Amino acid sequence: MDSGLVRKAEKAKDYAVQPDRVKFTRYDAEFRGDNGDHTISYEAGRWDCSCEFFAGHGTCSHTMAMQMMFEGMVSKDPVASA
């Protein structure tokens, strides 16, 4: 690795322990739940999950778990993308 790249890698290690620098704008994820796989999407602060519970409640254990995993990087509002 050249010295420029080494410095970048060192900077990356610094950044990696500062999650407050990161805000997700959108992502899609497959969530392996206990009762099956679900598709989660997040865009502009709005959540969606393919599970039945989310359809009725606008939130679910999957989106809640994602909010906990990425605390500070995503919106906590359980807003359904209706």
| Residues making contact with Zn ion (CB under 5 A) | 38, 49, 51, 54, 60, 62
On the CB side of 5, CA atoms within 13 Å amount to 2
Using the minimum distance from each CB to Zn ion, give the nearer residue, 24 or 50: 50
CB of 18 to Zn ion, least distance (A): 29
- Amino acid sitting at position 33: G
Give min distance, CB of 62 to Zn ion, in A: 3
Bridge partners, residue 27, by sequence? 42
Q: Count CB neighbours of 54 within 10 A.
A: 21
Q: How far is the CB of 25 from Zn ion (least distance, A)?
A: 21
